[in-house]
Amino acid sequence: MTLSTRLSAKPAITGLIVALALITALAWAVGCDGDSETSDPNSEETTDEAARDVSTTEADFEDREALVEQARALVEQLARGEYAQAHGSFDEQMQAALPEEQMSGLWESLEQQAGVYEEIVDTRTSVEQEFRVVYVVSQFRDGPIDVKVVFGPDGRVSGLFFLPVGADESRSEKAQGYNPPGYVVESSFSEEEVTVGAPDWPLPGTLTLPEGDGPFPAVVLVHGSGPSDRDETIGPNRPFRDLAWGLASHGIAVLRYEKRTKEHAQRAAEQEDFGVDEETVDDAVSALELLKAREQINGDQIYVLGHSLGAFLAPRIAVQAGEAGVEPDGLILLAPAARPLEDLIYGQSLYLAELDGEVSAEEQAQLDELEQQIGAVRQGDKTAEASELPLGVPASYWRSLEGYDPLAVAGQLDQPILALFGERDYQVTEQDESAWRSAFADEGRVHIEQLANLNHLFMSGSGPSSPAEYEQADNVDLLVIQRVSAWILALR
């Protein structure tokens, strides 16, 4: 789960990968404004019908071979630091949106998170809302990244995106590759499409309803950081679909939705004061409002289930939802961090650097640079450019977290809280779990549990966890479904 938006001349947010985020969900997107609703293939105006028109299978167009070579050359230029040559392939709007002097920071931030670039391993093409697109599958130390190069009608680059491999598949294509876990009873629930969010930020969503008349207890799923879809898709895995279908099989309704930074990536990037409220909190409150208005839902049993960043922000969501008159009846926290994000960033980066048993000189240099950037955050430097801050995330985002302590806010709440941690989670670690335990050692309303063998996705495995593990198809462990459903049903 990461935060990804388009770089522009305004302050922008590039791939936020923290210990809350899934490394392989890293995505940066760089594009340009257009003159029509369909000028940006990833714009907020994309409808479900348009989404079905997106093809990420190999597509033919007249100059396909030449554009594939141009896209490959662009990636190689970026990897060699030939930013002037790469910048020269952009159209005018892209050149304005991504000045040449910012390109080194973009690529360095990518390598800081995905590891050193190694080679191009594959390409594929598609036509997306009449744009010709080349995906250059590029191998980095920690896994492959789709470099999505969008070409305008003049054959120049009009959009550049860094995505987890397969992240731009249409929803129908994603569904085809999904294998439901054994604990799902598909005949026990139905699903309907809904719209979450404020009128100016509509988010397509899915409400999963158990069979029967209800009213049912219900859960809102809140994503980790990054441009997640409603299934919180990472590689071949769909953890939020596992949770929705698994809990619905136990008689619990579940609402999940596309995240604002995915559905409205371009507009989110253009906001000058974009922070965690705009990224996550506001839409979670809107989701609670939707559930409160549904007659099939028990209005006295509506819960927020946050994963990673969503768990970190869940206490904040509860407070703001209360102010809006839709206070949740409890919080379910999957991998809730207790430390500031900048501490998690460094801890995760150090873990990955040490994973092979040795920190190289290049890795140490990246860690040293990261420490300097974290120092700027801690000093509250409001004038620092995004390139001077961790992972290229602008000052507005860090300002939105100033003074936020999830433990302190959770301590002011009255609701019951269930906090689950994965034993093998290298992103939200035992240090965070210990802090939660210490803060609520004497509070019976808070139940904290570590689940053996589970990683950050709450999927089972063995040995040290790594980003590569997220590319292995699996499902959320049955124990998670059992713990969450039993906790909710016991509160009736």
- Return d(Cα 329, Cα 321) in angstroms, integer: 11
Q: Of the listed 425, 432, 474, 477, which one is catalytic? A: 425
Residue partners of 357: CB distance under 8 A and separation at least 6: none
CA-wise closest residue to 252 among 294, 197, 207:
207
CA distance 33 to 55: 22
Establish whether 307 is a catalytic residue: no
First to last CA, the chain: 32
- Dig out the tokens for 135 from the structure: 């995906």
Active-site option among 8, 170, 456, 466:
456
Whole-number Å distance between alpha carbons of 386 and 105:
9
What is the b/e burial string over 465-487, where b = at least 16 CB atoms within 10 angstroms of the residue's CB?
A: bbbebbbeebbbbebbbebbbeb
**Concatenated DSSP letters of 475-490:** ---HHHHHHHHHHHHH
Report the helix count and the strand count for the chain, using DSSP H and E.
18, 14
* CA–CA dist 9, 95 (Å, integer): 10
Burial class (CB within 10 angstroms; exposed 0-12, middle 13-18, buried 19+) of 141: middle
Asked about 223 being catalytic, the answer comes back as no
DSSP 394: -
CA angle 455, 456, 460 (to 5 degrees): 25
Q: Which of 225, 308, 349, 466 is catalytic?
A: 308
**CB distance 257 to 206 below 8 Å:** yes
Instruction: Tell me the two tokens of residue 480.
Output: 């998670």
Burial 308-324 (b: 16+ CB within 10 A, else e): bbbbbbbbbbbbbbbee
CB proximity list for 248: less than 8 A, separation 6 or greater: 188, 189, 208, 209, 210, 254
Known catalytic residue: 308?
yes
Determine how many CB atoms are found less than 10 A away from the CB of residue 454: 24
Pairing of strands 143-151, 131-140: antiparallel
Query: What CA–CA distance (Å, rounded) separates 306 from 302?
Result: 13
Q: Is 446 helix (H, G, I), strand (E, B) or coil?
A: strand
Using a 10 angstrom Cβ sphere, with 0-12 exposed, 13-18 middle and 19 or more buried, the burial of residue 338 is: buried
What is the C-alpha separation between 312 and 335, in angstroms, rounded?
A: 8
Query: Which residue type does 25 have?
Result: A
Question: Residue 11: is the preceding peptide bond cis (ω within 30°)?
Answer: no
* Triad 453, 458, 460: Cα angle to 5°: 40
Residues marked active site are found at 308, 425, 456
